[in-house]
Structure 1
């Protein structure tokens, strides 16, 4: 699997269940306190996607892409800060990566967890099927 390398977000990414967006928290002086809070992804994105209604799992892959699992729609969003603005709200920076609409009719239960394997593939937890991971 080949993926274009992107600069990863620096700081801590936080899925905000109140707004449905993703926040980027930074510790500017390095004192262990997040003193800068910025919006990484929200409903004002130029890609035209609505925000996840119940974001509760988030992964930043080694290529810099950020994956957000939405428990309300059982969708996984892929966010990439292509213009290196510190946010993924620009045109084409947010896509629906995995959903029932693009999974060839497969039923996709809630993505309880996301992980990147040593093979570079993204795995989604499928606890409803005995606790194993599904490669996507």
Structure 2
């Protein structure tokens, strides 16, 4: 009976959070901005009892080398760190690379689009089993 009451209470709380934004903020909280426009918010860090070293550690765990590379960062209600890099520090995407190739080397970009993809032969497609399931079971599993 106790487990059923507990599960029911969780379901009711989840339903209430979905239906009411104010109650969601009250129950789970909201994100706290710790870096805004590249500037640390020391007052917010003190409220969260988070040192600059701990913030830097979390950023390093996400692959950010320097604090100056971060445009904004938040501590989410679940304790996770969310961040956005400055424009000059964001990695180059394949789409941006293709646009640059088309802009500066249109002939080369067209040639690369028309060429067949190179097959190394040794690399296996990770999704091959999902996309093309085998019907026979390996002998050692029978």
Taking structure 2 as the reference length, what is the TM-score of the superposition? 0.27
Greater helix share, structure number: 2
Asked which structure has the greater CA Rg, the reply is: 2
Greater strand share, structure number: 1
Higher relative contact order (CA closer than 8 Å, sequence separation 6+): 1
